Amino acid sequence: MVWSDLFAAHLKAVIEEEAKYYEVTRAVLVAHLHGNAPQVAVETGRKMVPTDLMPSFLEVEASLQDLKI
């Protein structure tokens, strides 16, 4: 393989990984706009997070309770 092929493959992997964050954000917003409760919308997004990065249900609940809006 040429170095440009390796670079392109790495760049593609990085872009796809970053796109997952936008997909999660989109899922939360769409779920909320469909009338779901905020907790349900957040849980929808949490389920889309890659397994190795996914917070536990209790971690999400603790974070939500710490929010001051």
Identify the band that residue 68 occupies on the pLDDT scale cut at 50, 70 and 90.
confident
Q: Each residue of 36-54: pLDDT tens digit? A: 998 899 999 999 998 888 9
Q: Each residue of 57-66: pLDDT tens digit? A: 899 889 888 8
> What pLDDT, on a 0 to 100 scale, did the predictor assign at position 50?
85
Predicted model pTM: 0.72
Number of domains in the chain: 1
Cα–Cα distances in angstroms (integers) from residue 29 to residues 1, 2, 33, 41, 57, in the given order: 41, 41, 6, 7, 19
What is the mean predicted confidence (pLDDT) over 29-36? 96
Range of the domain at 41: 3-66
What residues contact 36, with CB distance under 8 A and at least 6 apart?
Answer: 44
Q: For residue 1, what is the DSSP state? A: -
